[in-house]
Structure 1
Amino acid sequence: MNRFFTVVCGVLLWVSSVARDGPKFPVSAIPDALKKDVHVVMREDQMVFTILSKSRATQHVYQAITILNANGKRYAHETVGYDKLSKVTSFKAAVYDAEGMLIKRLKSSEIYDQSAYDGFSLYSDNRIKVIDLSQSTYPYTVEIEYDIEYKYLFSIPDFYVLTRENCSVQHSVCKYVFPKSLAPRHRTYNVDVKAVAEPSADGMETLSWTFENVMPIKLDPMGPDLQYVLPHIDGAPTQFEYDGYVGTMDTWDQFGQWVSSLNQGRNVLPEVTKQKIRALVAQAKTDEEKIKILYEYMQSRTRYVSIQLGIGGFQPFEASVVDQTGYGDCKALSNYMVAMLKEIGISAHYVLIRAGSDASPMDTDFPSSQFNHAIVAVPNKGDTLWLECTSQTNPFGYMGKFTGDRKALAITDKGAKVVNTKRYPADKNVQSRIADVYVEATGDAKAKVKTTYQGLQYENNYLDNAVHLQYDDQRKWVQNNTEIPSFDVNSFSLVNHKDKMPSAEVLLDLRLGRFASVNGKRTFLTPNLMNRSTFVAEKVDGRKTPVVLESGFTDLDTIRYHLPDGVYPEFLPDPVKITSRFGEYESRCVLDQHGLLYVRRLKQVKGQFPAESYKEFADFYKSVNRADHVKIVLLSKT
């Protein structure tokens, strides 16, 4: 395995191969099975996390990665972060060719040290060291080794055995070293290797996992995201200290008490502000009306700015500072909102959450630092109101895809508890379209279309942002999001409705060139104006993972076709109705005294379904596609 050892004072030590010259990691030594259908092979991947005390820890990382082709080039780059409470004490690297001969060693001048500027943080002491070992000739192997010293103990870096698709592992080790009194907790995901516990030097103990010849993962279409299927190990301390703040986190309640200690005394508002907010809500008749007034007041006079300075990554700065400056990060703005509500006698909770439309779910059985965002929850007669405090445009009470429908941790006066944020079921996420289409004898047409997007569909194609854009940018949005093969926009408007269940209306006046195909006395048109399903489920054999539908929604289309004089349908398709565990579909065409009416309804439900149901899912959408693309034949009497 190309590992080397030396003895110092009777203790066996591992010496990384970065320190050795000569042939190393020849590609020929990789088993053929590990090279099949991959871009990179992890020859060695070792992480040792050592707990020295409640306020000190170190991390050692050693990797040797063979990059087989340009698709694996990202692995030639490494970024190591640090801040005022952590320090990169060593950073070494080398590159070897396919035969294992040394190409180059990293020079200290080739390590770029820079601010970890994220584009929106006003203050940050986060920095990164960056290296680039990429080569133009493949394959080659990069060897990277670094050490980080932490002046705190709050979290343990996750260890991913595999990091993405098209990657295999020849050998890897995750190891924790710790005094018995500070034994860390751990949780494994998709791992079938047992941990090995044994004593270490100086009375320390170790816990380690060793992996050999791990084959690559191939994701199933419409299956769980990569983060759900990758084998990895999460660790967390029980007793810890961060920048002088001591705590324990073996239960969520204890973790919440530590968060409360960070927030203690930071909710004091200036007297003039107290008078202002009391005056603002003086005429309000209900608590919900008061909450809305203060939420929109906060939106109107604050903006989101990230603050990342030491404990500031976890601790909000004072409500009085937000009030004075008009800005804050998610923690500060949420704390400010809680403080304002407290002033008018309304109890609200500061809530930690893992935000993002693709965020992995909170592991409620493993108390640890799993959060990247803060929001506010306000109990309201059994119907909790959720407040996103970083947005100046978010509708009152709306969470949406960013923080909706997931677990979170509410920090209360009595400790902490796991809660569920607002869920948006399929019958609330509605796209409803009504259109009048005036078909001309030439096949051209005019159309007046009104589409209402509600709930999570309000966020479709960034409509929630488009409603706040200037006219020219809104016009571009309309051009890019109107699904008709050929059209000109005569006029349009976007109307926003900022409710707890928000919606927006898009009104279009269109000219449709060559909308229908004319052939002699017959005219052919597709009645589904602008909502034709084109999804085709990828064929897959031997599926192992469940079918995952990330969102539930309902689409409603009612299209009235006004036909030219003397033209009538020669053929109308039969009504279609499809029912499955994944949803429902129905469509029909009806001729009445006003013309031709097309009605369509598609409902998809959110959920996980057995792996063996994938063919049924594929067949469901195959049938939907067929129905959506059916044509109507019109015949001219003249």
Structure 2
Amino acid sequence: MRRLALVFLLLTAARLVQAGGVVPKFPVAAIAAPLRENAHAVMRLHDETMQVKSVGRTISTVHRVTTIFDEAGAHWASETVYYDEFTSVSYLRGVIYNEAGQGVRQLRASDVHDRSLSDGFSLASSGRGKTVDLQQPTYPYTVEFEYEVVSNNPLFYSSWYPQPAEQLAVEQSSFRVVTPVELPLRFQERHLPAGVSLVRSKVGPFDAYFWEVQNLPAVEDEPDSPPVSEYTPAVLTAPTSFEVQGHAGSLTSWQGLGQWSYDLNAGRDVLPDALKARVAALVQGETDERARIRKVYEFLQANTRYISIQLGIGGWQTFPAASVAGNGYGDCKALTNYCMALLKAADVTAYCALVRADEPDIRTEFPSSQFNHVVLCVPLTRAARPDTVWLECTSQTNPFNYMGSFTGNRHALLVTPEGGKLVRTPSYGATDNRLARLSDVYLDAQGSATASIRARLTGMEQERLSSILHGLSATEQKQRIGDGLPVANFSITKLTLTPDNRAAMPALVQILNLTLPNLAAASGKRVFLTPNLLSRLPSLPAAVGERQTDIWLARAFSHADTVRIHLPATLKPESLPAPVKLTTAFGTYSSQVQTLPDGTLQYIRQLTMPRTRFSRTDYPAYVEFRRKISSADKVQLVLLKTDS
């Protein structure tokens, strides 16, 4: 059938040419039916070529054509071409096609916007890009983009991700690298489909590498699945040798990359004498090494602020520490280098560490430039037992020695005089990421209630509230927290957020008072109340067909909820739900309701889950675990109206 369809399209094209018409390009009807299934968009064509011109220069060209079926796929109608002081965009072209494949509009100069794209933490980005948005109001339609980028920063080679997202099918995608023989390509293939392999050839004095995939059906978005990059095709590439603005380096090992970074920034940690004397006075008499580090870190936070500068070679070379001291600001590498210099003045040795922040961990088996951020690593050399302090130097509010979800639970490259060394940043388990909440609910005879809630959150559990506290006004805080409450009808009468960063694990205390009209439902002489006020975990859908991905529980946590329900004299419990206890590899859960001596009903719920990975074949058991929790979380108390 597909062959007959192709013959039909060719005959139609021939008739159009004979009639003097325009042959349609990329008509939607030409997309094979299997590629439409579960797809918000189809990548019709994605051809990328990287030419390595020399040890210090590359040229990349990209040609991408995408058919978009609905609003969920509309972001594929946008394109952003990044550039910086060492990268230039030679051209950017685009065309919009209708469903029949007829061109309806060319990309105009006014469609291209040059914008700052700084993300507030990146290591080596000038944060600029040429952005285009060709979204159309009527579906389906097709967009075509072509652009070329010339880079004098070959520390970053192109990598190929032909299927970078769920619900995206791929008709055809190819990747070509052409490099001088004396600069052999380093690459790593990941999850290539059966039958797809590297094709190598010679093009004069160059080696050519070529990969191509075709007809990849869309990958479904499955609950609790790993990042899509972990199971879709990819080819990672990196240079053997590179040179950025006269600074040459080797990228065949982590040691080599770290050595290049160290040499590039050596000698830029010199402070003014007056500041060194001030630091010495700050820590004078303090014999505890950790306390000395804390004093310096708090001095840094009180006297500097983050500004995205990204000057220096490709964003890798820091501003001198003396410059940060004079200006009071810097980017991530400048502030980290400055903090390292301050600690040096306090007689504490520290090392900058490259890390990939806010993204999946690096591929440790493939030395290459995979980092986007810098933090500070401080080994405790005088402690009774070996330990390390980690400092995020770009934040004025980040707790001392806390990496959290942003940079924790991953690898970092320690930059030392002997070169680079891979180390792990702190890991945070269920005992670190805790929520302990006590709620007093006062129910009246009509089923309405007020609630006084006190919650203490630690580790990653406090991060969301901490960002609300430091980033929003009091009114906005109430709005944001209210949006996250799992109750239908309420008003917030009191809200306070109080951080406690002096503890070993950062903590935040939340006080929340609510009015809850019609919290309990009445039916005749009975009143029904769900005692689980704020901690309901939803169930998961059963897999349709065979699940394709592993189960990835990305964050460990421990939740403990106690709800004390104070009843009026006219309501008595008729029946209480049976206790529930679940113990599985996925986690442990328990809930129970008991009557206290004073007649108060007390509901206690506990849930602990690990950060781990399970086989996709375990998904039915995981669904059952979540179903039982969801069912227990919805259980109701039955209260009986009395005349007393």
TM-score scaled to structure 1, two decimals? 0.90
Change (3 A) 1:152 1:395: closer
- d(CA) in 1 for partners of 2:442, 2:49: 71
Partner of 2:506: 502
Partner of 1:526: 530
- Equivalent of 2:494 in 484, 491, 494: 491
- Secondary structure at the counterpart of residue 208 of structure 1: strand
- Equivalent of 1:246 in 241, 245, 248: 248
Partner of 1:184: 185
Partner of 1:218: 220
- Equivalent of 2:640 in 627, 635, 638: 635
Post-superposition Cα deviations, 1:217-246, rounded to whole Å, max 9, x if no partner, equal 223222112232231211110100012211
Partner of 2:369: 369
Task: Check whether the contact 2:279–2:296 (CA below 8 A) recurs between aligned residues.
Answer: yes
1:465 aligns with 2:468: yes
Partner of 2:479: 476
Percent identical: 36
In the TM superposition, 1:286-325 aligns within 5 A as: 286-309=288-311, 311=313, 313-325=315-327
Q: CA deviation at 1:550?
A: 1.2
Post-superposition Cα deviations, 1:110-168, rounded to whole Å, max 9, x if no partner, equal 56362434486999865433445555555444443332222242121121212323332
- d(CA) in 1 for partners of 2:429, 2:143: 48
Where do 5+ consecutive residues of structure 2 fail to align?
7-20
- d(CA) in 2 for partners of 1:139, 1:435: 51
Partner of 2:406: 402
- d(CA) in 1 for partners of 2:121, 2:562: 47
- d(CA) in 2 for partners of 1:571, 1:250: 69
Change (3 A) 1:131 1:534: closer
Change (3 A) 1:159 1:597: same
- Equivalent of 1:196 in 182, 196, 199: 199
- Secondary structure at the counterpart of residue 350 of structure 1: strand
Task: Check whether the contact 1:266–1:319 (CA below 8 A) recurs between aligned residues.
Answer: yes
In the TM superposition, 1:617-632 aligns within 5 A as: 617-632=622-637
Change (3 A) 1:207 1:519: closer
- Equivalent of 1:598 in 598, 603, 625: 603
Residue type of the alignment partner of 2:509: E
Partner of 1:615: 620
Q: CA deviation at 1:613?
A: 1.1
Change (3 A) 1:21 1:81: farther
Task: Check whether the contact 2:121–2:394 (CA below 8 A) recurs between aligned residues.
Answer: no
- d(CA) in 2 for partners of 1:113, 1:261: 37
Q: CA deviation at 1:534?
A: 2.9
Partner of 1:274: 276
- Secondary structure at the counterpart of residue 613 of structure 2: strand
- Secondary structure at the counterpart of residue 156 of structure 1: coil
- Secondary structure at the counterpart of residue 527 of structure 2: strand
Task: Check whether the contact 1:571–1:632 (CA below 8 A) recurs between aligned residues.
Answer: yes
In the TM superposition, 1:552-571 aligns within 5 A as: 552-565=556-569, 567-571=571-575
- Secondary structure at the counterpart of residue 171 of structure 1: strand
Q: CA deviation at 1:617?
A: 1.1
Residues paired across the two proteins, number? 616
Partner of 2:12: none
- d(CA) in 1 for partners of 2:456, 2:545: 40
Q: CA deviation at 1:612?
A: 1.4
Change (3 A) 1:566 1:166: closer
In the TM superposition, 1:109-128 aligns within 5 A as: 109-110=109-110, 112=112, 114-118=114-118, 127-128=128-129
Partner of 1:388: 392
Post-superposition Cα deviations, 1:345-397, rounded to whole Å, max 9, x if no partner, equal 211110111111xx121100111111111101111242211111111011111
Change (3 A) 1:511 1:311: same
Partner of 1:10: none
Q: CA deviation at 1:429?
A: 1.1
Deviates more, 1:126-135 or 1:362-371: 126-135
Q: CA deviation at 1:317?
A: 0.6
Partner of 1:547: 551
Deviates more, 1:445-454 or 1:479-488: 479-488
Task: Check whether the contact 1:220–1:540 (CA below 8 A) recurs between aligned residues.
Answer: no
Residue type of the alignment partner of 1:211: V
1:40 aligns with 2:41: yes
- Secondary structure at the counterpart of residue 306 of structure 1: coil
- d(CA) in 1 for partners of 2:121, 2:435: 36
- d(CA) in 2 for partners of 1:509, 1:36: 48
Deviates more, 1:384-393 or 1:535-544: 535-544
Partner of 2:17: none
- Secondary structure at the counterpart of residue 377 of structure 2: strand
Partner of 1:13: none
- d(CA) in 1 for partners of 2:497, 2:146: 54
Where do 5+ consecutive residues of structure 1 fail to align?
3-19
- d(CA) in 2 for partners of 1:121, 1:478: 26
Change (3 A) 1:525 1:138: closer
Partner of 2:52: 51
Task: Check whether the contact 1:467–1:474 (CA below 8 A) recurs between aligned residues.
Answer: no
Change (3 A) 1:446 1:364: same
Change (3 A) 1:409 1:69: same
Q: CA deviation at 1:328?
A: 0.6
Task: Check whether the contact 1:121–1:308 (CA below 8 A) recurs between aligned residues.
Answer: no
- d(CA) in 2 for partners of 1:466, 1:582: 32
Q: CA deviation at 1:178?
A: 0.9
- d(CA) in 1 for partners of 2:470, 2:61: 49
- d(CA) in 2 for partners of 1:228, 1:323: 42
Post-superposition Cα deviations, 1:519-563, rounded to whole Å, max 9, x if no partner, equal 454333222232222343454320121111111111111222333
- Equivalent of 1:232 in 230, 234, 255: 234
- d(CA) in 1 for partners of 2:413, 2:99: 50
Q: CA deviation at 1:566?
A: 6.1
- Equivalent of 1:257 in 238, 256, 259: 259
- d(CA) in 2 for partners of 1:444, 1:43: 58
- d(CA) in 2 for partners of 1:64, 1:196: 24
- Secondary structure at the counterpart of residue 598 of structure 1: strand
Change (3 A) 1:67 1:310: farther
Task: Check whether the contact 2:441–2:566 (CA below 8 A) recurs between aligned residues.
Answer: yes
Residue type of the alignment partner of 2:370: Q
Post-superposition Cα deviations, 1:268-325, rounded to whole Å, max 9, x if no partner, equal 0000100011111113230000000010110001111111235151111111111111
- d(CA) in 2 for partners of 1:220, 1:307: 39
1:378 aligns with 2:354: no
Residue type of the alignment partner of 1:148: V
- Equivalent of 1:328 in 330, 354, 361: 330
- d(CA) in 2 for partners of 1:95, 1:627: 52
Residue type of the alignment partner of 1:494: L
Deviates more, 1:277-286 or 1:433-442: 433-442
In the TM superposition, 1:156-167 aligns within 5 A as: 156-167=157-168
- d(CA) in 2 for partners of 1:92, 1:480: 42
Residue type of the alignment partner of 1:331: K
- Secondary structure at the counterpart of residue 194 of structure 1: coil
- Equivalent of 2:520 in 510, 516, 521: 516
Change (3 A) 1:473 1:243: same
Task: Check whether the contact 1:243–1:310 (CA below 8 A) recurs between aligned residues.
Answer: no
Deviates more, 1:120-129 or 1:543-552: 120-129
Change (3 A) 1:48 1:492: closer
Deviates more, 1:92-101 or 1:387-396: 92-101
- Secondary structure at the counterpart of residue 397 of structure 2: coil
